[in-house]
């Protein structure tokens, strides 16, 4: 069936959706509510028109500047540097950070041809130089690329009179030593905190 | 962010898609290909207009009659009775059945208010009476409702000069006795095949 096959093929290109899930979703849409299908379809079609990147921090936003950059109740002396726009929401949702954000647009990855020029290090440097920021918290992923990127940031900001920190990596809360991988365990030991 | 939140809310109403998957898909759509978003959005919006129920067997189809009912290379003496339209594709894809189909539209379930009148037993009876069918294979689910429905079909077709069979239930291939639930094991024993 052409129209069903096409829908299943399109759905299975979404992240985390395999062939079986795509079929299940397609059948749900066929037998489901027409108004819902219309809403979902239009939301998907128009999302790229509605969501932009904040001109200050680079996060996804409906307005410019974004709600974080324009919120005067946030601590404007802290700047959290992340790889992706979605990381901003993840950290904001944690409820333990009330500062500003800076989105790099990725991590340094020579294998994929992503060097410092493709990422927003220049505007990071400018934001720090413009003053007011006392601490830069590097929240790139605890991966080889994220760690390399963190080292690079430490390097380009070393002459600025600010504190630079890196989010901790180690065993997840509720995790079990027995099931921890070697790299996580090593990082957890190296990053031990003295009582 | 209103437009993102709305998209995530709509996506998380899909079967098997939780809040985290919905966010991941939404970010993928924001940063992805605009043409793909348009195709997917339109496919979702129009799927209910394009896909209908076959007037003969009740399966989902673009054309009427469906590809199974109109395929003269299929064995027209066998009729496989299933609960849902999607079951037709599942059985057809197995490659071991080459007969016709009949979709009931569900299973008898008094608790949910689904009695024989809501399901297509009348047209099943008519199709059998019109002749040509030698075997009815009941492929309703191996659940209480599916089994009840199978017994009901056996009852309404008992005076017709045809073979009636029920697909086998038991341990899945590659399964392990140790992990089988009691009901499956009981069914597997009762349905044992003599060598």
Rounded to the nearest integer, the mean pLDDT of chain B is 92
Which tokens go with A80?
């959290």
Q: How far apart are CA B92 and CA B109, in angstroms?
A: 26
Q: How far apart are CA A136 and CA A102, in angstroms?
A: 10
Contact A44 B44 (CB under 8 A): yes
pTM for the full predicted model? 0.76
- pLDDT the model gives residue A189: 82
Of B1, B10, B86, the CB nearest to A43: B10
Contacts of A46 in chain B (CB under 8 A): 3, 41
Average pLDDT rounded to a whole number, residues B46-63: 94
* Pairs of residues, one from chain A and one from chain B, whose beta carbons lie less than 8 Å apart: 132
Is the interface score ipTM higher than 0.90? Answer: no
- pLDDT the model gives residue B183: 84
Q: How far apart are CA A173 and CA B64, in angstroms?
A: 57
Q: Write down how long chain A is.
A: 195
Of B3, B10, B42, the CB nearest to A62: B3
- Does residue B26 carry a pLDDT above 90? yes
Contacts with A97 (C-beta within 8 Å, 6 or more apart), sequence order = A78, A80, A91, A137
Q: Any idea which residue has 């290090």 for tokens?
A: A121
Which tokens go with A67?
């709600």
Contacts of A31 in chain B (CB under 8 A): 85
Residues of chain A with pLDDT under 50: none
Which residue of B8, B36, B40, B105 to mutate against A (max A Cβ within 10 Å)?
B40
Contacts of B27 in chain A (CB under 8 A): 60, 84-86
More confident residue, B22 or B95: B22
Chain B neighbours among A 15-34 (CB < 8 Å)? Answer: 15-17, 21, 23-31, 34
With bands split at pLDDT 50, 70 and 90, how would you rate the model's confidence at B131?
confident
Give the three-class secondary structure for B162: coil
Q: How far apart are CA A65 and CA A53, in angstroms?
A: 9
More confident residue, B187 or B47: B47
- pLDDT the model gives residue A120: 96
- pLDDT the model gives residue B114: 94
Q: What is the pLDDT of residues B67-111, one digit of tens each?
A: 999 999 999 999 999 999 999 988 998 888 999 999 999 999 999
Give the three-class secondary structure for B80: strand
Q: How far apart are CA B7 and CA B21, in angstroms?
A: 12
- Does residue B123 carry a pLDDT above 90? yes
Q: What is the pLDDT of residues A46-94, one digit of tens each?
A: 999 999 999 999 999 999 999 999 999 999 999 999 999 999 988 988 8
Measured in degrees and rounded to the nearest 5, phi and psi for residue B192 equal: -55, 145
């Amino acid at each position: 069936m052409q129209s069903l096959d096409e829908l299943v093929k399109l759905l299975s290109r979404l992240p985390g959706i395999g062939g079986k899930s795509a079929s299940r979703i397609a059948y749900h849409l066929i037998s489901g509510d027409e108004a819902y299908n219309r809403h979902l379809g239009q939301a998907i079609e128009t999302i790229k028109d509605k969501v932009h990147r904040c001109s200050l921090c680079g996060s996804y936003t409906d307005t410019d500047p974004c709600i974080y950059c324009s919120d005067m109740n946030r601590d404007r002396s802290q700047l959290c540097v992340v790889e992706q726009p979605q990381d901003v929401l993840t950290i904001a949702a944690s409820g333990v950070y009330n500062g500003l954000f800076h989105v790099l647009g990725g991590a340094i990855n020579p294998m994929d041809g992503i060097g410092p020029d493709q990422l927003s290090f220049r505007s990071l440097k400018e934001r720090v130089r413009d003053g007011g920021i006392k601490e830069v918290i590097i929240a790139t992923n605890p991966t080889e690329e994220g760690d390399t990127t963190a080292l690079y940031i430490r390097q380009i900001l070393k002459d600025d009179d600010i504190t630079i920190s890196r989010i901790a990596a180690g065993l997840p809360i509720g995790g079990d030593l027995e099931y921890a991988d070697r790299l996580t365990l090593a990082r957890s030991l190296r990053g031990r905190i003295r009582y």
